[in-house]
Amino acid sequence: MPDSLCHHTATELSALIRAREVSAREVVQAHLDRIELLNPKVNALVSLNPERALAAAASADERLASGAPIGPLHGLPIAHKDTHDTAGIRTTYGSPLLAGNVPDRDELVVERLKAAGTIAIGKTNVPEFAAGSHTFNPVFGTTSNPYALDRSAGGSSGGAAASLACRMQPLADGSDMGGSLRNPASFCNVVGLRPAPGRVPTWPDLAAWSTLSVQGPMARTVSDVALMLSAIAGPDDRSPIAISEPGSVFQGSLQADLSGLRVAFSLDLGGELVVDPQVRAVLEPAAQVLTDIGGVVEEAAPDLTGADEVFRTLRAWQFELAFGELRDAHPDRIKPSLRDNIDAGRALTGTDVGRAERLHTELYHEVREFFGRYDVLALPVSQVPPFDIDLEFPTEIGGVAMPSYLDWMRSAYWISATGCPAISVPAGFTPQGLPVGLQLVAPHRGERRLLEIAHAFERATQHAAVLPQL
């Protein structure tokens, strides 16, 4: 049946299209049919354009038949994050201020995916201006978690994660400042990779030298994430921090010898994090899995003192840079939590930013030395399982108050501040059937080894194979 195509991985679909066992048009139509069936339940995909997608699929089939060169993602449907400018497709950033915005050019990650052969079917839902890790906005509403429709899908790449879990697309792009590729992946039982800054160059970018926010791949398997990363990674002279290594280093098998792998395992970063007991219970067996795949596991964690100040200071500075003018022009049309972050950026002094940069440097060297002793760090992606969809954010964890929409995300955003690549891989379910992801962190620019470790964990556990029952 056509719907069965949607259950193939991106790697499998790519091989089927190349072998002409199935056409790009059939693949796109199957996903559009599944979207029509399931998207009304989860509200993950927005600004759909099926006619445009089917026309592009027909062109892709003609190109393949002609013998012309094709890209590694030829014929695969994709919905781009609604904060990624996409030429000719409505891109709202989840804000009523941009509800009618239709860009006239693609930003770099979209440009690369298009060059690799993907076919745009629409956009994925986001929080307003991607602020926060719960996907809701006044333009399109709230995205539900496919595993429990009354729970959050995470964010800011929540629409991307939910659509992957529902098999409405095989790949998704996303971005991550404080966990926006990892938290929704954890909540929706898919895989999300935050690459090292510069691995996936960004353009245009108001703060091109900044390392806090990155773009990266999401998919249902680690191999598919690697496949997508091979297409979007690599140098570009429009980004001053772009890594020169080509994306091709992520091609090929991820099977590797992990014997003797030095694993630091910590469920609370040495007692620094408040973690929900259900998350702890799901992740405790991961230590044995990491041992079984060849690791030597020790209870250990880096000293991330200063990470909170680094992240919050630099984030506030970037939010003021990006949204300050909008805040002045339309103060009542920006959600209060975002407005507070912009105002926090305006309250910063040069001394504040200078101190954050000094702490940022100290943090880098602390983590560099830590990874001289260990090959990978394992910890929770999120400190909580998927929370009530009617909350903006969890207000407490285990009786400990979470005053703002950032406090509950420390396990993700402290890692952002280190600049290390990190991946969320499915690790199990709570007794209520809610997904929980394991976060694996590698040394600076160590994505290839990180993918190999995550792939081995995935194969050993098979949690990703558990589908939502919609």
**Residues acting as catalytic residues:** 81, 156, 180
Euclidean distance between CA atoms 27 and 45, whole angstroms:
17
Residues 6 or more apart whose CB falls under 8 angstroms from that of 395 comprise 401, 402
Name 267's bridge partners. none
CA distances from 392 to 18, 158, 401, 403, 457 (A): 44, 14, 14, 12, 32
Quickly list DSSP for 141-195. EEPEETTEEEEE--SSSHHHHHHHHTTS-SEEEEEESSSTTHHHHHHHT-EEEEP
Torsion of CA 58, 64, 66, 68, to 10 degrees: 120
The total number of residues written for the chain in this structure? 470
Two structure tokens written together for 54? 């089917």
Identify whether the C-beta of residue 57 lies closer than 8 Å to the C-beta of residue 13: no
Task: Output the CA–CA distances (angstroms, integers) from residue 161 to 187, 311, 433, in the order listed.
Answer: 8, 24, 17
Distance (Å) of CA 278 to CA 176, 377, 385? 25, 21, 7
3-state secondary structure of 352: helix
Using DSSP, state whether 204 is helix, strand or coil.
coil
Q: Is 180 left (phi over 0), alpha (psi -120 to 50) or beta?
A: alpha
* SS3 at position 198: coil
Angle at 325 between CA 322 and CA 328, to 5 degrees: 135
* Coil, strand or helix at 449: helix
3-state secondary structure of 438: strand
